[in-house]
A = this chain, B = another copy of it.
Amino acid sequence: MRPTMEDVAARAGVSRALVSLVMRNSPKVSDVRRAAVLRAAEELGYQPHVMARSLASRTSTVLGVMVNDLRNAFFADVVEGLDAAAQAAGFDLVLNTGGRRPAREGTALRSLLSFRPAGVILLSPVVPASAIEAAARQCPVVLVSRTSRASGVDTVNDDGEAGSALAVDHLAGLGHRRIAHLDGGGAAGAAQRRRGFQAAMRRHGLDPIVVRSEHTDTGGEKAVRELLATYSRAELPTGLVAGNDFNAVGAISALEEAGLRVPEDVSVVGYDNTSLAALRHLSLTTVDQPRTEMGRLAFEALIERVRGERTEPVRHLLHPSLVVRATTAGISATGGARR
């Protein structure tokens, strides 16, 4: 059996309460006793029992985290940021997934709450708003990549509209006039990206072309084939704003298959700046969201509520940035490319 505080106290010749004070490094312990306790703890390999501590102190160092999909690199990055911030502040993450299924997410959320966590962070949850509000009645809740109007809920989102605008501005700046968006369908954030695209295009006085697609590489291929079937070579869009990086890669494949060169004939911009985009082989121009930063901000929003420093909800809208690589270029007078 692992040693308890009582064991340490006995060995150090002090009371359990004193050991408790030392463990929480209280200033009101004499140096002699502190040293004795620390030595005894060391010798016994003692480590406080977080659960017992949590129960007795009526406070929790547990943060519940529910992830929409761990396989998605986006969430992995957010969790990284979260973990780093949490560890630095002495919190631990209890992590879960609901596999994108509302019912399972509900169970997962309840499971997190049964830890009586200091707070809960939901990454792009698919549970109904009512479940989120119910959770918010028990502890602070932060939503990442999902909005909410509930008063007890903070949110951290990236500004998808601004991201698309960045892509459009970039292409328009390179001289492109016919630019199409490969829409992400019902995927999280897709609607915002589409809206941002349309608004930016109009701002440039251009006609927004939107092709229904999805956030996969095959989706990108299909969308481009559709485009090729619809437009004559001369009228084909010269710029593509893909729904995400995977979609962009599929689009590029289909373009090359059709004998079009990227970026000489068509420029393509991705979204998310996944590790994929950074590969030399692709060198995809893409929109980057500060994912790790989002995790950090989510943690901070939570901690502010935990510490009671704030009660009004906060809505972070993070600014994406454009990472220019090799899949975009200007248009030459002849319709060819100019880097």
Contact = CB atoms under 8 A, between A and B. Distances in A.
Given A111-B92, A114-B48, A115-B51, A138 B83 contact: no
Contacts of A108: 87
Contact of A279 (B48, B95, B249): B249
Interface stretch (A25-33, A74-82, A205-213, A310-318): A74-82
B281 A252 contact: yes
Contacts of A234: none
A217 B87 contact: no
Given A97-B83, A281-B217, A114 B71 contact: no
Contacts of A282: 281
A125 to B, nearest CB: 15
Contact of A71 (B73, B110, B113): B73
Contacts of A281: 217, 249-250, 252-253, 282
A93 B92 contact: no
Given A47-B113, A217-B281, A253-B281, A92 B83 contact: no
Given A110-B47, A221-B280, A250-B281, A97 B80 contact: yes
A202 interface: no
Nearest to A139: B2
Contacts of A147: none
A1 to B, nearest CB: 9
Contact of A83 (B51, B70, B84, B116): B70
Interface residues of A, number: 54
18 contacts: A2-B116, A49-B116, A50-B114, A62-B94, A70-B76, A70-B83, A71-B73, A71-B275, A73-B73, A76-B76, A79-B95, A93-B95, A217-B281, A246-B275, A246-B279, A252-B281, A276-B276, A276-B279
Interface of A: 2, 45, 47-52, 54-55, 62, 65, 70-71, 73, 76-77, 79-80, 83-84, 87, 92-97, 99, 107-108, 110-116, 134, 138, 217-218, 221, 246, 249-250, 252-253, 275-276, 279-282
Minimum-distance CB pairs A-B, first 10: A51-B51, A253-B281, A95-B95, A50-B114, A70-B76, A249-B281, A217-B279, A47-B114, A70-B80, A93-B95
